[in-house]
Amino acid sequence: MRKIVSIILSVILVFSLSACSGESKKTASKLDIKGVFYTNAEASEDGMTDCYVVFDYNSNGKNFELAKETGEVTLAFENNSYEATENKKSTYYHNSETFDEYLFDPIERYMGYQYAVNEQKTIPGSDKADRLFVHFRVNPNDFGDKGSVTLDFIGEKAKFKISDAKEIKTVDEIMNVEADYDSAYQVASFKYRADKAYLEACFITRVAAFFGEDFSGMSKTILNIFNESAAWGVSVSELAGQGFSVVDGIYFDKSLNYDLSPLKLSVVKEAHPDIASLIDKLVTDTTLLGGQIINEESVADDVEATINSIIETYMQICDYFALEMAN
């Protein structure tokens, strides 16, 4: 009799565990919210605030499509629910040229986070979670609520404590989701500055015939691209007002911000030791170019050689980061 009862209990236990296991698989979310951030609404004319949600999506190794429409990504508070913002295309000017750029492209390019709404993009399957982000315009009063906020990304849901949401001064601060914010910001800043060095070098080859030897303004900008002694940092995510920022005669198409840390090349090289020598070479050549273009004794062939070296090194650095992103 005891043996029969024991067998019956064992069977019941097995079915109970199976049921629990099935239930956990059913309710487990593929989303893991890493951070919710919002800006100060006082500067906004409509009284709404910018809200950024950074989250990981676990595809379990399968390809997945990003949301095709903004309505497929929502953020629900206790009293209000919001749809994601469209990744709008904007136009800005740099060195007398027109560039088209989608609003959140800099975050994707320099921080490595994919925007959650993109009707044409499929993300390859990976064993590790993909880091995504999404932007909303929300009522700042919602952050005074207690409880949690719910993110819905194409049917997958996850919650986050409202009390853990953080106010930020610059969008770059969403990188606080990383284990080492300073390292993440410095690497992102370096990527932007490398782009800047490359564009300035290419621009010189096109304008020399028109502007002769008057490169004093451009020289000052170039010499400050990798300046570690500056009192400001560069916001990699925020376009400057009117297309450029000017600080002490230095022109950048991104916002120069005193709340952000100045460049620390040692931090970048520590994070990516495999390209430390390439970083040094790009910085050295960029500084050299800044001096060459205002030196009346500079030889044209030498300037061209420096420009070609900058372009070659820049391409090698881009290849490295592209491979890193792919892996």
Lowest mean pLDDT among 23-27, 116-120, 268-272: 23-27
Q: State the pLDDT at residue 98.
A: 58
* Contacts for 189 with CB less than 8 Å, ≥ 6 apart: 110, 233, 234, 236, 260, 263
Residue 191 has pLDDT above 90, yes or no: yes
Q: Which residues pair with 38 in a beta bridge?
A: 51, 167
First-last CA distance in the chain = 60
Lowest mean pLDDT among 78-92, 109-123, 253-267: 78-92
CATH of 30-168, one of 3.10.20, 1.10.10, 2.60.40, 2.30.30: 2.60.40
**The token pair that represents 97 in the structure block:** 């040229």
The two structure tokens encoding residue 124: 């390859």
Q: Which helix (H) or strand (E) holds 268?
A: helix 265-271
Q: Please compute Rg for the chain using Cα positions.
A: 25
Nearest-5° angle of CA 240, CA 241, CA 246?
Answer: 65
Task: Look up the pTM and report it.
Answer: 0.83
Q: Which residue has the higher pLDDT, 303 or 275?
A: 275
Phi-psi bin for 121: left (phi > 0), alpha (psi -120 to 50), beta?
Answer: beta
Domain residue spans in the chain? 30-168, 181-326
Question: Residue 11 pLDDT more than 80?
Answer: no
Confidence check: pLDDT of 145 > 60? yes
- Would you put residue 95 in left (φ > 0), alpha (ψ -120 to 50) or beta? left
pLDDT of 52 > 90? The answer is yes
Q: What is the DSSP string of 142-198?
A: GGG-SSEEEEEETTEEEEEEGGG-EE-SSGGGGGGGSS-HHHHHHHHHHHHHHHHHH
Per-residue pLDDT at 153: 95
